[in-house]
Structure 1
């Protein structure tokens, strides 16, 4: 099974989640994109339960803050993960949104607190040579510096594009590479 982990303020019904859902259904592969809490401890607890309920036989795709969570889970359980413009230091980058933050699903808001930043610090892990990551980066990301991912994940496979945005434009062109990386035979990338 592949789990898609959305970013900050996102949901399992976002554009990328829906595109992945359609793609994985078309190739008859199990896939879920849960809508997760904004509270980091609750996110990790939910994802750990999903991973453990499937016997750890899962792959991860994480976007932005979801990429940060995917790094933690991949390290903890020895999983493969695809990271899309991942947030490497969310306890730093998300300081600027303290207070009321948007929920992009229904345009409601939630309170993002200093205590949430402290929770994120608990899930930082140091990259190790055994890392099993395929990282998709667009240099035009207006929210995160792609070089942080390059420097923090030295043993990962990378696809780095000029331009683009934080939402990672045209993700669909990587679907076959993602499939081959996570569940395919051989080494296509």
Structure 2
């Protein structure tokens, strides 16, 4: 029996990012244009990982089982793996953070928001332990995975991404950057993988 198309799509942005990111905005526009019946949600995630995933859990609590997909970029990719594991849904991982508890330790303190430098937040030491609590490395994937990794990512190591997601359909591209500037060329393939209604 063919799998039913997904009616709900969650997009999770990265550290210091927001729903105003170029990738989130492009994805939202493409979903609205080509899949107008799909429920789209890209929440502004708080800096606390515990609060971020609590917000996500509340937001998708009533979403139909087996009818959703999740896309995550950078830190959002780390969160997306947890969501996919919990909801048994497909996930798309865009230059995902593999070990944010390690990588974000140097960012403890006051930070600025990428899309609004006037907006400031405090990244607290206890958030590192919160990140460890949500880590699903070593557990079987919750659903089909698509990894889009750039070898030129100046923030995260693409080799760790490839190693972290061995069961994913892996697209590893030469050059590029952490912002995934080539995303406009790949957004259609991303949404096709999500199998939207």
- Whether the 8 Å contact between 2:89 and 2:142 is mirrored in structure 1 is no
- Whether the 8 Å contact between 1:142 and 1:166 is mirrored in structure 2 is yes
How many angstroms does 1:130 deviate by?
A: 5.7
Map of 1:10 onto structure 2: 17
Q: TM-score, normalised by structure 1?
A: 0.92
- Whether the 8 Å contact between 1:86 and 1:149 is mirrored in structure 2 is yes
How many angstroms does 1:131 deviate by?
A: 4.5
Tell me if 1:77 matches 2:87: yes
How many angstroms does 1:176 deviate by?
A: 1.9
Tell me if 1:33 matches 2:45: no
Task: For CA contacts below 8 A with separation 6 or more, give which structure has more relative contact order.
Answer: 2
How many angstroms does 1:105 deviate by?
A: 2.8
Gaps of 5+ in 1: none
Query: 2:153 is paired with a residue of what secondary structure?
Result: coil
Gaps of 5+ in 2: 1-7
RMSD value, Cα: 1.5
Q: What are the residue-to-residue correspondences of 1:52-67 with 2, within 5 Å?
A: 52-56=61-65, 57-67=67-77
- Whether the 8 Å contact between 2:84 and 2:141 is mirrored in structure 1 is no
- Runs of 4+ with deviation above 6 angstroms: none
- Whether the 8 Å contact between 2:113 and 2:120 is mirrored in structure 1 is yes
Map of 2:171 onto structure 1: 159
Q: TM-score, normalised by structure 2?
A: 0.89
Cα distance in 1 between the residues matched to 2:59 and 2:49 = 15
Match of 1:109 among 108, 115, 120: 120
How many angstroms does 1:112 deviate by?
A: 0.9
How many angstroms does 1:127 deviate by?
A: 4.0
Map of 1:136 onto structure 2: 148
How many angstroms does 1:50 deviate by?
A: 1.9
Deviates more, 1:60-69 or 1:12-21: 12-21
Query: 2:116 is paired with a residue of what secondary structure?
Result: coil
